[in-house]
């Protein structure tokens, strides 16, 4: 055989030796440099973080929307209750006036029944009157209109209630108008 003729095994070595440098260049050009890889990884991490934040924001939005919907249902009657409370006040004033009149017993008993019915309906919807007399003054529940000395209740406590306060479930509808004790009358 001539010296120019090569064995197939030698040819394979030459071709494999030449193929590696080309493959390395191809892989480097396909994937880029280390800086490009790091940039892609940083972008991937940023997008993962963004996806997690978006998911958390959506979950918070969903919870807030459910809470607002529940509150809307729970307090749907709030404005109606606000408008009915003065009617109840008028009944109480009418009863007070009727009790002082002679011969008004049938009117008084009829007004008391209607007032009781109205109170029962309001109670069924979660409305309750606030009792204040003798309790410590609470600016969240009471509106002080005067202060006077008192030997019967402690300083800072409610001496008397001028107008009832009302609450719908756990939300204040109207604060009670009260007179607060300024201490003992010495």
Would you state the pLDDT for residue 12? 47
State how many domains the chain has: 1
**pLDDT tens string 97-115:** 888 888 788 888 888 999 9
Residue 85 lies in a domain: yes
* C-alpha span between 126 and 123 (Å, rounded): 5
Would you state the pLDDT for residue 59? 95
Residue reference for tokens 């055989």 = 1
Residue 103 lies in a domain: yes
Burial 155-176 (b: 16+ CB within 10 A, else e): eebbbbbebbbbbbeeeebbbb
Residue 23 lies in a domain: no
Residue 45 lies in a domain: no
Residue 62 lies in a domain: no
* Cβ neighbours for 37, distance < 8 A, ≥ 6 positions apart: 31
Domain extent for 176:
77-181
Across the range 1-11, mean pLDDT stands at 50
Residue 168 lies in a domain: yes
For residue 91, give the CATH number of its domain: 2.30.22.10
Would you state the pLDDT for residue 107? 86
Residue 144 lies in a domain: yes
Q: Is the pLDDT of residue 2 over 60?
A: no
Residue 40 lies in a domain: no
**pLDDT tens string 139-173:** 999 999 999 998 888 999 999 999 999 999 989 99
Q: Is the pLDDT of residue 11 over 60?
A: no
The more confidently predicted of residues 76 and 130 is 130
Across the range 67-95, mean pLDDT stands at 89
């Amino acid at each position: 055989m001539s010296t120019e003729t090569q064995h197939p095994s030698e040819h394979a070595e030459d071709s494999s030796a030449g193929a590696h440098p080309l493959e390395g260049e191809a892989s480097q050009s396909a994937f880029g440099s280390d800086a490009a890889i790091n940039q892609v990884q940083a972008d991937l991490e940023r997008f993962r973080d963004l996806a997690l934040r978006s998911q958390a924001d959506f979950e918070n939005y969903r919870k807030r929307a459910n809470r607002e919907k529940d509150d809307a249902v729970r307090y749907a009657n709030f404005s109606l209750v606000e408008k009915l409370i003065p009617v109840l006040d008028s009944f109480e004033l009418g009863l007070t006036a009727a009790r002082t009149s002679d011969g008004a017993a049938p009117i008084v008993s009829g007004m008391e029944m209607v007032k009781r019915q109205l109170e029962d309906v309001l109670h069924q919807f979660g409305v309750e009157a606030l009792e204040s007399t003798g309790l410590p003054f609470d600016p969240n529940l009471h509106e002080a209109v005067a202060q006077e000395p008192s030997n019967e209740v402690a300083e800072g406590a409610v001496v008397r209630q001028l107008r009832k306060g009302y609450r719908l479930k756990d939300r204040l509808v109207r604060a009670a108008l009260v007179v607060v004790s300024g201490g003992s009358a010495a």
